[in-house]
Amino acid sequence: MSFINSSVTYGALSIFAMPVRAGLIVAALCGALSFASFACAEGRSVHLVALGDSLTAGYLLPQDKALPAVLETFLKQKGRIITITNAGVSGDTTADGLARLEWSIPDGVSGVIVALGANDMLRGLDPTIPRTNLTAILDRLKARGLPVFLIGMRAPANYGPAYAQAFDSIYPDLAKAYGAPLYPFMLEGVAGRAELLLSDGLHPNVKGVEVIARQILPQLDEFVASLR
């Protein structure tokens, strides 16, 4: 929004007296105002909600060491004005995430990180179940006009190739269908590395979370930039 008082005099130059130069001044002022508006837009605060399970919640970790908090810290270090709310609940399946979606994602947020499916896989649920639930989650978020950053999960080899193919394909298929950026496997570079995991061998420790966050950061930063 901009307005200009046409009777303003800049030094000895009157806008009324010099219509040609006045046009140049008005254009310059409008350009300055547009630049200011752009600057304000660049500095706009972004609020994300991370909807997930124990990998998001930060199982047995202090809240400031959980993945959403670490991602928020790293993004702030890059100059982003951002808040990431941790809506991870340990033990949640995709069905649980769908059931609590509306109250977990309040109005007014900028976008949603969806990181569900690990518990469906650990329970050996038919992959059609998490596919159906994640589709419903993405449909509801799309209906609310909320952009999604999708974080995937992969089945271990001992589940067999048929199960792994059916489960692993869920995330790239949905990312393509909904035009959502995808980080394919949350535990990339962490799974199977004892020094980055808690004693249960499943959940990342503080160092593991930092590894995950640094790997996700470039894509998530692009996603945040797109929200502006």
List 53, 54, 104, 120, catalytic entry: 54
Q: Tell me whether residue 200 is one of the annotated catalytic residues.
A: yes
Indicate the pairing of strand 9-10 with strand 13-14: antiparallel
List 37, 92, 203, 221, catalytic entry: 203
CA distances from 73 to 81, 110, 171, 206, 228 (A): 10, 17, 26, 14, 19
Contact 86, 69 (CB under 8 A): yes
Q: Tell me whether residue 226 is one of the annotated catalytic residues.
A: no
Closest CA to 148 of 45, 227, 89: 227
- Residue 151 corresponds to which tokens in the numbers above? 């974080």
List 6, 45, 199, 200, catalytic entry: 200
Q: Tell me whether residue 203 is one of the annotated catalytic residues.
A: yes
Beta-strand (E) ranges in the chain?
Answer: 9-10, 13-14, 46-52, 82-88, 111-115, 148-151, 182-183
The conformation of residue 8, written as its DSSP 8-state character, comes to -
- Residue 158 corresponds to which tokens in the numbers above? 């001992």
Contact 50, 56 (CB under 8 A): yes
Q: Which of the residues are catalytic?
A: 54, 200, 203
